[in-house]
Amino acid sequence: GEFFETLTMFYWVWNVKTEESHCEVRIANIDGQDEWASGMTKVQKIYFAIFSLIPKACIGVVLLYLGGHYVALSPTNNDLILNCVAIVFIIDFDDILYRTFTPIFIKKVMAELPPIRFRSVMSGLFDVLVVPYIKALFFAVIVIGLELSSHC
């Protein structure tokens, strides 16, 4: 979840239009649909990667490893459930902060922004047919690694 969300954010930053200089957000009506007419500068993309994507990816990887280890080594079923709830709380904490502290007018503005369209039909098929198997393989590798490390 968290790690693949970060990859999706990276994909978005990579594909959003690159502007030569900073400009205000522009929305254009193209073929009856509102679409973005402006993008981000290279500097904005780099800052977003350094201050958002890289820390988010690091937190996701550390949480996956330590949280998985913590859950895998739960001594009882009750501890297992409690540890899973704790991990879910930690993962969802940023969403809780957003829902609690973001002003309503900002949420409304963000909800009214059009989606950024850059996906092809093939990438949609890739998401449906291949990504679930990649996630399952990634999860299996983590679980097997945790199992092997707990026997050492």
pTM: 0.64
Cα–Cα dist 81/77, whole Å = 6
Do residues 16 and 9 lie in contact, with contact meaning Cβ atoms separated by under 8 Å? no
Better-scored residue on pLDDT, 11 or 124: 11
Q: What is the pLDDT of residues 111-150, one digit of tens each?
A: 887 776 655 544 566 666 777 777 778 777 777 776 777 6
